[in-house]
């Protein structure tokens, strides 16, 4: 009997090892662009800028037709994405001050970032590109769960190496001069020789190769600042667009093309290392196309900064070979907040129960295991402008600016993606119900906890 028990135990042990091998935790790569328009990728119908590599993520995975971010500008959108929580829950209501001496202008340290969560599952984590979650030492990426940082701390940057003349933010003497700081590797400024987007792509490929060499599970947050202004592109990429006459659009196209090359190099590195099936790769923009960068939001109303679709609906796709089906589109609304919840579910990491996630694990919805919609409601708030929006089914209630606050407009996005026909008088009950839902959600939120960008002039003291 004892012998049979031992054999049985061996069998159990063998079987559990086999199961573990079958369910290896995936590597995670999130590629985020900056101010890219909804219609500026091939998988959303872009004609004048080929994006074959970005499209591969969608074609070999799933494209989200209605993929949203939680805010229509950079900082709050990234704070939501990095925590998986509506950023107004912790007072990140707008872009924070860039003042490096300010220890509250950033992502509150009580909040857990995606990188901190993944550290608990022994991931090696990197951010390459734009941080924008605070410039003070307490907010440094290496203090917020990342093992490797290669990029810049503020919200935007020059692209040509010769423009990066300041050693650090303490040398900034006027507004926007933070676009000229040197790139930082971990904590030290470094000289770069390449066009910035290429430098980030190089760093990304190097990071992936090193993880493979070290046999290390990894998460890479590749946060390109392209195609955010300033519109700057190298000849290598500009020369691809002889047929685009508009100079701004041509430069924008070149900047997107550089990102696409980088995505291609990341995908090639994964394939070369045999990691295609062991890696979740997500592509999205941090908000919709902006007024100043010649982007294209297609039929969507509004731009970066707006709570209309053009501000918050973004190019968004996910690939996980062997797990989610290839080449489909997913129709129900999803949120950038879902990325954190999806990752947490795959890695079985415990999150702080006092800071519950607002997103959901998308994998059951993408594999067809769950045919329902991931979200009953999606919410947006722009506290500084008293603007609000809520999405429920096909309906969206939106007050895009202060003047609209008294009379939010109701749209049916299934027949009116351009948000042109206000249905308030026809659908008074839905209007009222959505307003009530939003009011309840709003009660859970905080006021802004830090000085906003443009509210101070710290640089004048330098
Ligand atoms: Ca942005």
Select which of 23, 46, 132, 140 is catalytic: 132
Q: Cα(285) to centroid of ligand 1, in Å?
A: 7
Q: How far apart are CA 91 and CA 444, in angstroms?
A: 11
- The reported pLDDT for the residue numbered 4 is 56
- The reported pLDDT for the residue numbered 24 is 75
pLDDT at 214 over 90: yes
Nearest to 48 by CA among 206, 275, 251, 218: 251
Q: Environment class of residue 316 by beta-carbon count within 10 Å: exposed (0-12), middle (13-18) or buried (19+)?
A: buried
In CATH terms, the superfamily for domain 27-367 is: Alkaline Phosphatase, subunit A (3.40.720.10)
- The reported pLDDT for the residue numbered 401 is 81
Q: What is the mean pLDDT of residues 287-299?
A: 98
Q: How far apart are CA 291 and CA 303, in angstroms?
A: 6
Tens of pLDDT, residues 29-51: 999 999 999 999 999 999 999 99
pTM score of the predicted model: 0.94
At the second CATH level, the architecture of 378-442 is 2-Layer Sandwich (3.30)
* Residue-range domain boundaries for the chain: 27-367, 378-442
Tokens 């599952």 belong to: 121
Q: Write the DSSP symbol of residue 445.
A: P
Q: Cα(30) to centroid of ligand 1, in Å?
A: 15
Residue 21: pLDDT band by 50, 70, 90 thresholds? very low
Tens of pLDDT, residues 410-444: 999 999 999 999 999 999 999 999 999 999 999 99
pLDDT at 383 over 50: yes
What are the structure tokens assigned to 437, written together?
């839902």
- 376-404 as b/e: b if 16+ CB within 10 A: eebbbbbbebebbbbbbeebbbbbbeeeb
Active site residue 431: no
Q: Cα(240) to centroid of ligand 1, in Å?
A: 25
- The reported pLDDT for the residue numbered 31 is 99
- The reported pLDDT for the residue numbered 280 is 98
Active site residue 157: no
Instruction: Tell me the backbone φ, ψ of residue 341, rounded to 5 degrees.
Output: -65, -35
Select which of 23, 46, 74, 375 is catalytic: 74
Q: Cα(76) to centroid of ligand 1, in Å?
A: 10
């Amino acid at each position: 009997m004892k012998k049979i028990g031992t054999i049985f135990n061996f069998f159990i042990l063998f079987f559990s090892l086999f199961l573990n091998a079958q369910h290896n935790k995936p590597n995670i790569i999130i590629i985020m662009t900056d101010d890219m328009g909804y219609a500026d990728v091939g998988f959303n119908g872009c004609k004048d800028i080929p994006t074959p590599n970005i499209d591969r993520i969608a074609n070999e995975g799933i494209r989200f037709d209605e993929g949203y971010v939680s805010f229509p500008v950079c900082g709050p959108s990234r704070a939501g994405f990095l925590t998986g929580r509506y950023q107004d829950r912790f007072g990140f209501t707008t872009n924070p001050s860039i003042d490096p001496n300010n220890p509250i202008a950033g992502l509150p340290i009580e909040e857990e970032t995606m990188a901190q969560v993944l550290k608990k599952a022994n991931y090696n984590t990197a951010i390459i590109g734009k941080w924008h979650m605070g410039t003070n030492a307490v907010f440094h990426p290496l203090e917020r769960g990342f093992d490797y940082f290669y990029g810049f701390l503020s919200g935007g940057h020059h692209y040509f190496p010769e423009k990066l003349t300041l050693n650090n933010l303490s040398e900034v003497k006027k507004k926007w001069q933070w676009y000229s700081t040197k790139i930082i590797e971990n904590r030290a400024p470094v000289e770069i020789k390449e066009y910035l987007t290429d430098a980030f792509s190089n760093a990304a490929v190097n990071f992936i190769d090193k993880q493979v060499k070290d046999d290390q599970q990894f998460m890479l947050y590749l946060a390109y600042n392209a195609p955010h202004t300033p519109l700057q592109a190298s000849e290598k990429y500009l020369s691809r667009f002889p047929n685009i006459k508009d100079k701004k659009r041509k430069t924008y196209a070149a900047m997107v093309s550089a990102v696409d090359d980088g995505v291609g190099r990341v995908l090639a590195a994964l394939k070369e290392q045999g990691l295609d099936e062991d890696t979740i790769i997500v592509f999205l923009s941090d908000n919709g196309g902006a007024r100043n960068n010649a982007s294209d939001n297609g039929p969507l109303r509004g731009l970066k900064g707006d709570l209309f679709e053009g501000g918050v609906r973004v190019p968004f796709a996910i690939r996980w070979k062997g797990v989610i089906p290839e080449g489909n589109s997913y129709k129900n609304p999803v949120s950038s907040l879902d990325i954190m919840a999806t990752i947490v579910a795959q890695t079985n990491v415990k999150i702080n129960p006092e800071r519950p996630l607002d997103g959901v694990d998308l994998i059951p919805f993408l594999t067809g295991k769950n045919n329902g919609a991931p979200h009953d409601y999606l919410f947006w708030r722009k506290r500084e402008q008293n603007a609000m929006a809520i999405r429920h089914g096909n309906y969206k209630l939106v007050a895009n600016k202060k003047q609209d606050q008294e009379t939010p407009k109701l749209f049916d996005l299934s027949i009116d993606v351009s948000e042109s026909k206000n249905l308030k008088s026809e659908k008074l009950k839905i209007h009222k119900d959505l307003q009530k839902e939003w009011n309840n959600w709003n009660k859970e939120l905080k006021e802004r906890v830090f000085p906003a960008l443009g509210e101070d002039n710290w640089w004048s003291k330098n």
